[in-house]
Amino acid sequence: MGKISVLLVDDHAVVRQGLRMLLQNEPGVEVVGEAENGQEAVSIAEQTSATVVVMDVALPVMNGVEATRIIHKRMPATKVLVLSSYSDDETVKAMLQAGATGFLVKQTAASDLLKAIREVHAGNSFFSPTIARRIRDQTRASLKSAYGERPASTELTPRESQVLQLVAEGYSNKEMAVELGISVKTVEKHRQQVMDKLSIHDTAGLTRHAISKGLVSREFSRTESQTAEPGGPPQATEAPNLEQSPIPEN
């Protein structure tokens, strides 16, 4: 990929000197210039064709945001890596919108600067860990706001539908366990999942829901039927004796 030519932009000479010392012995990296303000940064970037500009934000004459915007427009191949003491959301957003591809806080410069320079030169982004976490969280929040939270599924599984039907028919948890060939504990788990999905937390409500969905007829529901005997599976209703029933006269 060739040498990475770096331009250092900071209004403090001692900071530029420290950054130069940090980079001068690194293979494949060459510091080609220094600038103490944004206007000077634009001019030297054009003269040297620097491939990476390490840019401060708070600069005299022309601030880092405007300098980054001009460099990005005039020299789109040049990557701007922000190195600043300011890392609030507004500053980060402004620099990224201006065209910066990375953002470091000065406190982590010693350990992260070289890696960040190589990453942005390779076409990737690089952010200090605290900034990266904030960007990730903000992106997630933005996506949730744009598309909405995906609602939890309220569709019952086949097993849950079976449990709902048996609840409506008046089976106890123990009876359901025998009927379905599973443990009582598993029945209780399915029953709780049914209640959570339907937001119905009483047997009568579950029964009415099952009837409304056609899972069980009202006549086969012990909860709803006045004639069904409590306990045990539902009993068949006796057919009326038509011979003994008087036929009303017209």
Is residue 202 domain-resident? yes
Q: What is the pLDDT of residues 132-141, one digit of tens each?
A: 888 888 777 7
Residue 52: beta bridge partners?
6, 79
Q: CA 250 to CA 245: how far, in whole Å?
A: 16
Is residue 59 domain-resident? yes
Q: Is the pTM here over 0.85, yes or no? A: no
Residue 79: beta bridge partners?
52
Is residue 145 domain-resident? no
Q: Determine the structural domain holding residue 184 and report its residue range.
A: 158-220
Q: What is the mean pLDDT of the chain?
A: 83
Q: Mean pLDDT highest for which of 2-11, 103-112, 153-162?
A: 2-11
Q: CA 236 to CA 15: how far, in whole Å?
A: 91
Q: Are residues 194 and 164 in contact, defined by beta-carbon separation less than 8 angstroms? A: yes
Q: What is the pLDDT of residues 191-223, one digit of tens each?
A: 999 998 888 988 888 888 888 766 665 555 555
pLDDT band at 153 (very low <50, low <70, confident <90, very high): low
Instruction: Find all residues with CB under 8 Å of 51, minimum gap 6, and list them.
Output: 4, 5, 6, 77, 78, 79, 121
**pLDDT of 115 higher than 90:** yes
Q: CA 226 to CA 110: how far, in whole Å?
A: 81
Helix, strand, coil tally for the chain in percent (to 5):
50, 10, 40
Average pLDDT over residues 109-117: 88
Q: What is the pLDDT of residues 2-51, one digit of tens each?
A: 789 999 999 999 999 999 999 988 899 999 999 999 999 999 999 999 99
Average pLDDT over residues 73-101: 93
Domain match, 166 and 106 both: no
**pLDDT of 154 higher than 90:** no
CATH number of the domain that 24 lies in?
3.40.50.2300
How many domains are contained in the chain?
2
pLDDT at 107: 83
Q: CA 142 to CA 58: how far, in whole Å?
A: 28
Kindly list the distances between the CA atom of residue 133 and the CA atoms of 15, 123, 129, 130, 139, in Å, as whole numbers in the listed order. Answer: 27, 20, 6, 5, 10
Average pLDDT over residues 147-153: 54
Domain match, 118 and 12 both: yes
CATH number of the domain that 194 lies in?
1.10.10.10
pLDDT at 74: 96
Instruction: Find all residues with CB under 8 Å of 74, minimum gap 6, and list them.
Output: 42, 46
Average pLDDT over residues 110-137: 90
Q: CA 23 to CA 225: how far, in whole Å?
A: 85
Between these two residues, 222 and 143, which has the higher pLDDT value?
143
Is residue 110 domain-resident? yes
Domain match, 13 and 54 both: yes
pLDDT at 172: 92
